[in-house]
Amino acid sequence: MATRTLSFRSTDDFERRLDKAARYWETARANGDEEEIERAARHFETCLLRALHPTRTERGRTSRILRATTEAFVVAVERAQRDAELEAAYREWAAVDHEGEKYRRGALEAAAEIWREE
Answer whether residue 8 is part of any domain: no
Answer whether residue 23 is part of any domain: yes
CA dihedral 62, 21, 31, 47 (to 10 degrees): -60
Answer whether residue 5 is part of any domain: no
- C-beta atoms surrounding 68 within 10 Å: 20
Answer whether residue 20 is part of any domain: yes
Answer whether residue 84 is part of any domain: yes
State how far the Cα of 87 lies from the Cα of 90, in Å rounded to an integer: 5
Answer whether residue 3 is part of any domain: no
Q: Quote the DSSP letter at residue 13.
A: T
In tens, the pLDDT along 49-64 reads: 888 776 555 666 777 7
In tens, the pLDDT along 96-112 reads: 766 677 777 777 887 77
State how far the Cα of 25 lies from the Cα of 33, in Å rounded to an integer: 10
Give me the pLDDT at residue 116, please. Answer: 67
Answer whether residue 50 is part of any domain: yes
Count of structural domains, the chain: 1
Print the domain residue range for 27: 14-117
State pTM to two decimals: 0.67
